[in-house]
Amino acid sequence: MGSPFFHELKKQASLMLKEKVIKPARLALTDVTSIQLMTEDVTNGNSLLPLDTRTLKLISRAAFEIDDYWRITEILHRRLLNFNRENWRGPYKAMILLEYLLTHGPLRIFEEFQDDKDIIKQMGSFQCVDEKGFNWGLRVNKLSEKVLKLLLNSSYFKEERARARKLSIGIKGLGSFNPRSSSIDGNLKEFSTKSYERCNSDYIYPQSEESMFLVEDEVREAQSRTEENAMWEHSFFGNQHYQTKKPLL
């Protein structure tokens, strides 16, 4: 009964119980938003919620609205700032999301994270090999190198966005597109309810720790979705100005 597995099971059961009670209460009693909770959860190193492509897409679209933009970026700044040798999982997951936002989100992300370059560079020298022999340090190093290059080289940044756009374009003539469409709001509502109320066995018994974090390769596959095609072609995409409650560039 005192085995590490049993201890971990109790820990995850406790986390699930807290999420079931506290998260819905925050939504109901504070000004926290579903997208804010989603960003907090998927960049939390102690959370078993996966940072999958569907979540990346939802957060990226939400970032085009100024209120959600500030909520999302504040969380990412905080996660990155807290990086150290013991606390690396959350910052690593935050960096995965940052890479996606740089290539798919508002252009303003490029300037927003210029002051985070030093901590991202520091993550490039991180070393960690787990008990199974998996080299997490190398994984973090490669992602750090990619994100740092996006932030340091404006030409490369533009090329990567153009490449992502080219891969995304497929269906034409979809008309106007609002990043906060009903379909997106529906997905957020589903996240804010089902994620906290449904006991998903994958959250308690993850197949492997790798499955919680190794999503960079999956990110590339998300670039061919129909809704993202419309995002790239939307008229506000090339506009440098933004207002509250308006799509943000």
pLDDT confidence of residue 191: 53
Dmax (CA) of the chain? 61
CB 71 within 8 A of CB 65: no
pLDDT confidence of residue 26: 53
| Confidence check: pLDDT of 49 > 90 | no
Under the banding of pLDDT at 50, 70 and 90, the label for residue 2 is: low
Residue 92, token pair as written in the block: 């690593």
Task: Supply the mean pLDDT for the chain.
Answer: 73
CB 47 within 8 A of CB 88: no
| Confidence check: pLDDT of 232 > 50 | no
Window from 30-39, 60-69, 82-91, 177-186 with minimum mean pLDDT: 177-186
Identify the CATH class of 4-234. Answer: mainly alpha
Please give the residue that has the higher pLDDT: either 228 or 130. 130
Tens of pLDDT, residues 170-213: 534 444 445 454 455 555 555 554 443 333 323 222 334 555 55
Window from 30-39, 120-129, 158-167, 191-200 with minimum mean pLDDT: 191-200
| Confidence check: pLDDT of 27 > 80 | no
Please give the residue that has the higher pLDDT: either 124 or 212. 124
pLDDT confidence of residue 169: 75
pLDDT confidence of residue 66: 94
CB contact set of 117 (below 8 Å; sequence gap of 6+)? 148, 151, 152
Residue type, 154: S
Under the banding of pLDDT at 50, 70 and 90, the label for residue 168 is: confident
Handedness of CA 34, 36, 37, 39 (dihedral sign): positive
Partner residues linked to 247 by β-bridges: 65
| Confidence check: pLDDT of 133 > 80 | yes
Under the banding of pLDDT at 50, 70 and 90, the label for residue 7 is: low
pLDDT confidence of residue 126: 96
pLDDT confidence of residue 51: 78
pLDDT confidence of residue 53: 86
CB 69 within 8 A of CB 248: yes
pLDDT confidence of residue 174: 46
pLDDT confidence of residue 235: 32
CB 203 within 8 A of CB 16: yes
| Confidence check: pLDDT of 21 > 50 | no
pLDDT confidence of residue 95: 97
